[in-house]
Chain A
């Protein structure tokens, strides 16, 4: 509990009596968004698990031909859905402003993901939509869009690594115990997965390719663990938060 903020009791007067309704609405959007994310990227657009980097130009055209409709439905939905990911980011950053440390890391959390959303997620959608837009496009250009889409999606490393770094550092230094200390170690593991994905720009097959056991599967499993923990821990943090807690960060 943050005694400094509670001492400032006058600020709380007149505040809403609906206890943390805004937090709960934002929280529900977290599992909703990542469910939509999973549906879009796994069954619909086939980006997860990714098709191999070693396909020939003809095979890449065949891939877009075979999955054209679902790619279009999936990434058409992503164009709207991604905005709701921003809400989840704002919620986590808000919880970080409740920590005993300065809000520097909370602001860093928002800024890194605001940068990462485009190269790390939206670009895959734009490239695949452009590839599916004209089935008669020059096959070499379709192959270019395939590489742009998958390399930006799997290979956008720094935006997210920085995000995990500020998140882990914030948890380590926070004395209010907004998130348990072990979550910081999970976040550190996320940084390791980003490091292990660095070779995707070199290898076209094997464990370090963009569809490889290490670059993709290991990273995705740890991301799944990280995300599940994050969603549950944010829920616990909201439950533990006294209503009408005035804050200004």
Chain B
């Protein structure tokens, strides 16, 4: 049984707000299909004028709920600290990457919201805000990539009879990092699979990230339950 503690609460917060984020994702009219980088300034301005209410509604939800996933990533940090790695350095690296990564969640939606605030603004300015929103939302993937590689390395170095996480989670974490990394090019190209509306930069990146959170929910849940039932005197338990 998973008892109610800071870790399990963090998981449930992520599940709750993750579900709301999914609704916001479906609600945003610019995601189905994702807006093309080749729209003209007039087309972009018309898009904001036609869908003002839904853009505001979906992005204000994104604004409120995006950073709510942070406690979930802190559970990963804490579980990394429980691993029998040579030192705890990788947990600090993951914490550092997760914190910087979260700032991007907080900023991308603001550009969309500012653009939707005055749809009658000069179309050139709307397009600039729209470009900044999409580039900030899609391209800065380094924090997720580096964090996932740290997690994988920590899992591989977790040298104890009952490791905190199974080794396949390390492979999975690297796979997600590799799937997400090419999106860095979304701030460069305007067509093809790497453009911000492309198959890799949009669908593969978002699916991989969603899958990572979903899988890690169950991996962390199992780790927390194992930690709770562990009879060994584990130094981290009191902090759990």
Contacts and interface: CB of A to CB of B under 8 A. Distances in A.
Interface of A: 10-11, 14-23, 25-26, 72-73, 75-84, 86-87, 89-91, 93-94, 97, 106, 110-111, 113-115, 117-118, 122, 125-126, 129-130, 132-134, 137-138, 141, 145, 243-245, 247-249
Interface in B131-151: 131-132, 135-136, 139-147, 150
Given A16-B84, A19-B86, A77 B153 contact: no
Contacts of A132: 188
A22 B89 contact: yes
B139 A129 contact: yes
Interface stretch (B13-21, B49-57, B96-104, B219-227): B96-104
Contacts of A126: 132, 135-136, 139-140, 187
A130 B94 contact: no
Contacts of B136: 126
A19 B157 CA distance: 11
Interface residues of B, number: 56
B184 A80 contact: yes
Secondary structure call for the A interface: helix
B128 interface: yes
A115 B136 CA distance: 16
B88 interface: yes
Contacts of B91: 90
Contacts of B143: 82-83, 86
Contacts of A77: 184
Contacts of A97: 88, 92
Contacts, number: 180
A80 B142 CA distance: 4
A17 B158 CA distance: 11
A79 B88 contact: no
B93 interface: yes
Given A90-B92, A110-B96, A118-B103, A25 B140 contact: no
B100 A114 contact: yes
Given A18-B159, A87-B93, A126-B187, A137 B124 contact: yes
Given A11-B235, A79-B184, A23 B153 contact: no
B86 A22 contact: yes
B81 interface: yes
B86 A16 contact: yes
Contacts of B142: 78-84
Nearest to B196: A133
A76 B195 CA distance: 12
A21 B85 CA distance: 9
B87 interface: yes
A86 B100 contact: yes
B86 A86 contact: no
Given A77-B184, A83-B142, A87-B96, A15 B159 contact: yes
B100 A117 contact: yes
Contacts of B87: 20, 22-23, 94, 245, 247
Contacts of A138: 124
19 contacts: A14-B84, A22-B89, A23-B86, A23-B87, A76-B139, A76-B188, A80-B145, A82-B100, A83-B145, A83-B146, A84-B142, A86-B93, A87-B150, A90-B90, A93-B96, A106-B92, A137-B128, A141-B125, A243-B86
